[in-house]
Amino acid sequence: MKKIYFLLMIAALSLTSCNKWLDIQPELEIRKNIIFENEQGFKDVLTGAYIRMATPSLYGLYTTMVLPELLSQHWTPVSGTLSAYLSSYDYEQTTCKSMFETIWLQYYQTILNLNSILEDIEAKRGSFTNGNYELIKGEALGLRAFLHFEVLRFWGTAPSKILMSDIAIPYVKEVTKDPNKLLSKTYQEVIDNILDDLNAAEELLSEDPILVYSNAVLNSPATMAGIDKTKPYPQDEYHFFRQVRFNYYAVKATKARYYLWLGDNSNALVNAMAVIDAKNNDGTAKFTLGNETAANNGQLTFPTEQIFAVSNTLSTQTLTSVFFNNNTAYTQNATYLNTAFENTVHASDIRYRNNRLFEVRVIPLAGNFNFFKKYNDTDSKTAVKDIPLIRLSEMYFIATECGGESYFRDYRIARVLDISLDGTLSTPEAIKERLEKEYRKEFYGEGQMFFFYKRLNYNKLTWPTVKDIAETVYQLPLPESQTMFE
């Protein structure tokens, strides 16, 4: 853990501001060489990258439940607070700029950790065992692509407005003191680098343990006692819990998301189907859609659907004050929620009925509030520690948009939605209209609704109220720490 902390400290020292980003001291470089003396050091630093991703400054709060959700109007804004500024797209407010700066630096600090791995791993290849060289390098490359793509989705223009020669964001592939290597690159360079890293990751992860064993087995190391150890995996503890690591199917799912973003529906469908059709050795599905049993157990993040998630052991501590404890908590009007979840048409929806997603609570002197329960692990039924970043349902939506109604029907059955939708998704416009509603319901609190709007360049939102959207809303302003370079 000390090694992990030290690499995170290097990132913090080197990225906090323009000057500190470039100021990597010689003694830190020497310490870095000590960290990477053996395989365990590479494991520790990669684990540190995952830990950073799960912090409140990234997927533990800001980039899942707060920033994209406020931009999508999912929470009731409180006047004079960040929620009001972001909901009204007032990006010049100090609190907004501060959040953008924090998120930007956290993304690139994580990327710096990954680059430190990738810079040193070849020289130490001979010290790796049990296929861990391929796993660690594959995960690091895949994560680097994933994180840059996330930055692009936030800070780039809407896909339909992209000119490939325009300047986009930095694509950082090394730990460097050279400011010229931290400059933003063109869209063409960024998307080419993303795909190159994903392709390399896919090849390296071609023997990922997730391809050999089911998630149920990999999430229960104790069950491996009777497994034939002559098989290639798993042979050490690093091969377990692949859903909270950037595994082979996370690469395929990210490719599906990437190609859809760029309007390449054919390749988006191929990669989405690779995840949907994935099988275990016994022929059972690798990932399965969440059902009534899962929802009834309070598992609205649907663990069997999670292609890639971050493990957040501090979720209760972090989220209680955000969603439960005060009258400024993020919540939403009950009437608007009933409309969003179409409760008069889909009364059996497993996510919304029986107060599963929201719970009415009374705040003294303030009134009744609908508190968000998706990530609440204080309920005795619920033990949500993993925050999903890519789920199987998204692959079904991509397949629906790119291939037809049959994929949506399977999803609808799993969620116990009304059968009256059969036969109604006969045009691209009808599919778009339906998917808008489903993205909202499915990914409430997960941050994907904003990217749906941005990808399709919506100029008007109709929920919870009608709101005109300017194109500039979809491109967050670059933080000052980056504009100093440009």
pLDDT in tens, 122-143: 999 999 999 999 999 999 999 9
User: pLDDT for 64-93, tens place per residue?
Assistant: 999 999 999 999 999 999 999 999 999 999
Q: 234 or 278: whose pLDDT is higher?
A: 278
Other C-beta atoms within 10 Å of 464: how many?
Answer: 17
Contact present, 316 and 378 (Cβ < 8 Å): yes
**pTM for this entry:** 0.92
Rounded Cα–Cα distance for residues 57 and 53 (Å): 8
Residues 232-244: what's their mean pLDDT?
82
Q: Which amino acid is at 362?
A: V
More confident residue, 459 or 281: 459
Q: Is the pLDDT of residue 273 over 50?
A: yes
Indicate the burial class of 342 (C-beta count within 10 angstroms; 0-12, 13-18, 19 or more). middle
Residue with tokens 């990132």: 11
Give the residue from 358, 372, 275 showing the smallest Cα distance to 321: 372
Whether pLDDT at 14 is above 70: no
| pLDDT (0 to 100) of residue 26 | 41
* Three-state DSSP state, 309: strand
Q: Span 1-208+460-486: which CATH code? A: 1.25.40.390
First to last CA, the chain: 36
- The string of pLDDT tens digits covering residues 29-39 is 446 678 898 99
Domain regions of the chain by residue span: 1-208+460-486, 315-372
Distance between CA atoms of residues 159 and 361, nearest Å: 41
pLDDT at residue 135, rounded to an integer: 97
pLDDT tens digits, 179-194: 777 899 999 999 999 9
Contact 310, 384 (CB under 8 A): no
